[in-house]
Structure 1
Amino acid sequence: MTDLSLSVLIPARNEADNLPHLLDEVCAALDGAGIEFEMLVINDGSSDHSLQVLTEYAARDERLRVYHHQHSAGQSTSIWQAAWQARGAWLATLDGDGQNDPADLPAMFERAQKGDITLLAGYRHKRNDSEIKRLSSRIANAVRSRLLKDDTPDTGCGIKIFEREAFLRLPYFNHMHRFLPALIRAQGGTTLSWPVNHRARQAGSSNYGTLDRLMAGLLDLGGVMWLAHRSRLPAPLDLRSRKDVDKDLHARQEP
């Protein structure tokens, strides 16, 4: 049941030094735009003091709900589980490292609500990452875009907004968050890329190895291609009565 405009989902692992400021920024951006929202942070098996930081924040702001994995389950699982708990008709995702800018959310949410878009995907037009990360991302995006034809230049960008019901109809699998535009389009949805700000990490270190992420993405690509090819929408049902259908058939047969 949805009774909010927007649920902001933030998977995070060992981001204790980034989360309080990130949550403050989400509140400032959405409160400033007059958007009713909630925040769901999935503490994905952190070994730092993330759980303590989040528990203290939730005690001050009831709009934050915290979920905790005893062991890391991964980003896709975290987002999937949070989506089932969310109360918003629309879902926004942000990475927990603070590199996505919550200030982009109000404009993205306004565009998404115009009625012609199922998923709005952030596009980091100027990335603040190392050269090796930018290079591996360009390779992965080029290969994925050519094979999946998802018309999305930066599907790895963590900031996205999409319809909750459309997301929950997707088949779940590990790493699915990297292929959301292709999966949404395969189900008949519409997608649009939106230029967003991208910031340098201020604290902590990445939870992904550059080569590991590139190889995992390429390995998953074959499965997503198969899935997208098999996901064909059924033909529309003829909802006329049998009597009307017979009458139409008879009329066509008359000389």
Structure 2
Amino acid sequence: MDLSVIVPIHNELENIPVLHERVTTALAPLGLDFELVLVDDGSKDGSTQLLRELSEQDKRVRVIELRRNFGQSAAMLAGIRESSGNYVVTMDGDLQNDPTDIPRMIAKLGEGYDLVHGWRRDRKDRWLDRKLPSLLANKLISNVTKFTVHDLGCTLKAFRREVAVELELYGEMHRFIPILADMRGAKCFEMEVQHHPRIFGKTKYGIDRTLRVLLDLITVAYLKRYAASPMKLFGRWALLCCVISIAMITTTALHAVLTQTMSAPLLVGSILVTGLAAQFFAFGWVAEVASRIYFAGREESVYAVRHRWDQRATAAQQTAAKSGIWRKAG
């Protein structure tokens, strides 16, 4: 398989037929063997049935139905793990991303880049609750991570498969894909892409996601700098506390010698800071152990697949799916 286009779907009933037509039309001139992987992330509006029918009509369509709404990051990860293309493209299912940008992104991958991520320079969204928070968040993320980017929120991205399968997406981490890939040494390129206003359905994004993105930013900043050696972070604070503690103990001793009285605040403070240093060392040790476990490679998924519906599935798999037997992705 040359190319896999992965689209998380959550209550996009009206958009699905148009999405299918636009993607297949845009990719036809490339002459590539491609698949359209539609991940049903717990839809409740009838999208599930429509997706199943679409997979029966077009052998290039694969549908991954999740048991419930796990979120866009988990749905995207499910699509990546279930796909088989040498190139992987992700995009939204709301028709705001334009599939005609995909050929340009694939061409850029052909120039030697590992990841091409979109930049919605002329974004067709409301200013106050969509564009402004995104603008501020992108500037903050760029400053914290030292990764220059204009639009981390654009779902339209193209990867080489070896980069895509290394991604661990949870929480709202799909927004940080370029940074996560850069941490693995991927060569990234930001490309201006088209953006269209939403016509059907309701947006799933709101200003409430800003807080979650900021919390995930803390995680990304930590992983980028200290994932391989957490003791460098916690040990630094522990040593600082040790220096402060020694200074406070020395001051307490000099005060006792010169004034013949013991300074209770300094003594109690030195004890507390010493305890804090011990805690930082303990946190660092635990984090080091957790880091070793993480890099050892635990096979654990943040999503669970209910059914798989595609023409290439075996008869046994189709029978199991129809009978309600769940097969975990891995």
- Please give the TM-score of this superposition, normalised by the length of structure 2: 0.67
Change in CA separation of 1:125 and 1:175 when aligned onto 2, cut-off 3 Å: same
Q: Which residue of 2 aligns with 1:26?
A: 23
Q: Which residue of 2 aligns with 1:245?
A: none
Q: How many residues are paired up?
A: 228
* Contact 2:34-2:85 within 8 A present in 1 as well: yes
1:102 aligns with 2:99: yes
1:6-55, Cα deviation, whole Å (9 max, x unpaired): 10000010001011101110100101222221010111101101012111
User: 2: distance between equivalents of 1:207 and 1:69?
Assistant: 18
User: 2: distance between equivalents of 1:37 and 1:26?
Assistant: 10
Q: Which residue of 1 aligns with 2:214?
A: 218
Q: Which residue of 1 aligns with 2:77?
A: 80
1:90 aligns with 2:96: no
| Letter matched to residue 199 of structure 2 | Q
| Letter matched to residue 177 of structure 1 | H
Q: Which residue of 2 aligns with 1:130?
A: 126
| Letter matched to residue 213 of structure 2 | G
1:206 aligns with 2:203: yes
User: 2: distance between equivalents of 1:175 and 1:228?
Assistant: 16
Q: Which residue of 2 aligns with 1:243?
A: none
Q: Which residue of 2 aligns with 1:50?
A: 47
Unpaired segments ≥5 residues, structure 2: 230-330
Alignment of 1:189-200 (within 5 A): 189-200=186-197
Decide which structure has the larger Cα Rg and report it. 2
Alpha-carbon deviation of 1:77? 0.5
Q: Which residue of 2 aligns with 1:155?
A: 152
* Contact 1:29-1:103 within 8 A present in 2 as well: yes
| Letter matched to residue 225 of structure 2 | H
User: 2: distance between equivalents of 1:150 and 1:38?
Assistant: 32
User: 1: distance between equivalents of 2:44 and 2:12?
Assistant: 10
* Contact 1:186-1:232 within 8 A present in 2 as well: no
1:202-254, Cα deviation, whole Å (9 max, x unpaired): 10001122x21211111110000000113569xxxxxxxxxxxxxxxxxxxxx
- Describe the SS at the equivalent of 1:32: helix
Q: After the TM superposition, which of the residue ranges 171-180 and 200-209 deviates more from structure 2?
A: 171-180
Q: Which residue of 1 aligns with 2:248?
A: none
1:152-183, Cα deviation, whole Å (9 max, x unpaired): 21011010001222222233432221101111
1:96-117, Cα deviation, whole Å (9 max, x unpaired): 11100001001111111222x1
- Describe the SS at the equivalent of 2:134: helix
**Counting strand residues as a fraction of each chain, which structure ranks higher?**
1
Change in CA separation of 1:13 and 1:192 when aligned onto 2, cut-off 3 Å: same
Q: Which residue of 1 aligns with 2:114?
A: 118
User: 2: distance between equivalents of 1:106 and 1:40?
Assistant: 17
User: 2: distance between equivalents of 1:29 and 1:213?
Assistant: 32
**Counting helix residues as a fraction of each chain, which structure ranks higher?**
2
Q: Which residue of 2 aligns with 1:9?
A: 6
1:95-153, Cα deviation, whole Å (9 max, x unpaired): 011100001001111111222x1110000010000112111110111111111122221
1:32-84, Cα deviation, whole Å (9 max, x unpaired): 22222101011110110101211121111110000112310011111111111
